[in-house]
Amino acid sequence: MGVNAVAGLVDFAPERIVRVWMKEEGARLQALAARLDESGVTVEWVGDRALDRMSGGVRHQGVVAEFRPREPIDDRGLVGLLDGSAGPPLVLVLDGVQDPHNLGACLRSAGAAGVTAVVVPRHRAAGLTPAARRAAAGAAERVPLAVVTNLARSLAALGDHGIWRLGLDGQAEKSLYQAHLDGPLALIMGSEDRGLRRLTGERCDELVRIPMPGPLESLNVSVAAGIGLFEIIRTRLDQ
């Protein structure tokens, strides 16, 4: 659901689109319909009531697409991506993010930052629901998602692979802006309510916090992930 999400499919994987339903209103929708037509995808014109029924309550912006999703990878697929990375790998690890909108927003930031992969646990975490895909604005089909059974074991494997594991923790003494952010790196985020779990924190090589001089003491996990990722990108571009 959503204009950006469906447009991302057209850009990256039009062959996976099965069919599209759209309302015949608005310049953005008409432009998207033209791109779908160029890609050989037939659009069925319907009203808001039909779209509301198909979307199951997710805000659809006038378009719903049925498609064959990209399958997540596992630990072995993640190792293959790391081995094939052209530059220093950058991995985003989400430890139990529960809100699908936050997962989608993290994927969108990861796609903009050019991360190698996003890693999530199989259990007690949000999956790639329609709401997550809409929030990802097409990034769900561009960014490899590794779904792992045992996150602590996967973090240990990242360390064995030479990747520095940097955890964001609001209680850490060291600032993100004091950390060394070059080389192969995994940025590790905790859940919305509890942050990093104890075992996850113990698997990190370094814990840092984002300085917040204002009266609020926390950030949305997707906002914090974006800050961390683009501080890493800024450091790499300055070298």
CATH number at residue 26: 3.30.1330.30
Both 56 and 115 in a single domain? no
CATH number at residue 222: 3.40.1280.10
Instruction: Examine the domain organization and report whether 46 and 142 are in the same domain.
Output: no
Query: In terms of residue numbers, what domain contains 42?
Result: 3-67
Would you write out the chain's pLDDT as a tens digit for each of its 239 residues? 889 889 888 888 888 899 999 998 889 999 999 999 999 998 999 999 999 999 887 789 999 999 888 788 898 999 899 988 888 999 999 998 989 999 999 999 999 999 999 999 988 888 878 888 878 877 888 899 999 999 999 999 999 999 999 999 988 999 999 998 989 999 999 987 788 888 899 999 999 999 988 877 778 899 999 999 999 999 988 76
Question: Are 57 and 102 within one domain?
Answer: no
0.85 cut: is pTM over it?
no
Same domain, 129 and 232: yes
Residues 117 and 228 in one domain: yes
- Among 206, 195, 200, 143, smallest CA distance to 173 is for 206
184 and 113 in a single domain? The answer is yes
Domain count for the chain, please give it.
2
Q: How many CB atoms lie within 10 A of CB 43?
A: 18
Tell me the C-alpha distance between 158 and 127, whole Å.
22
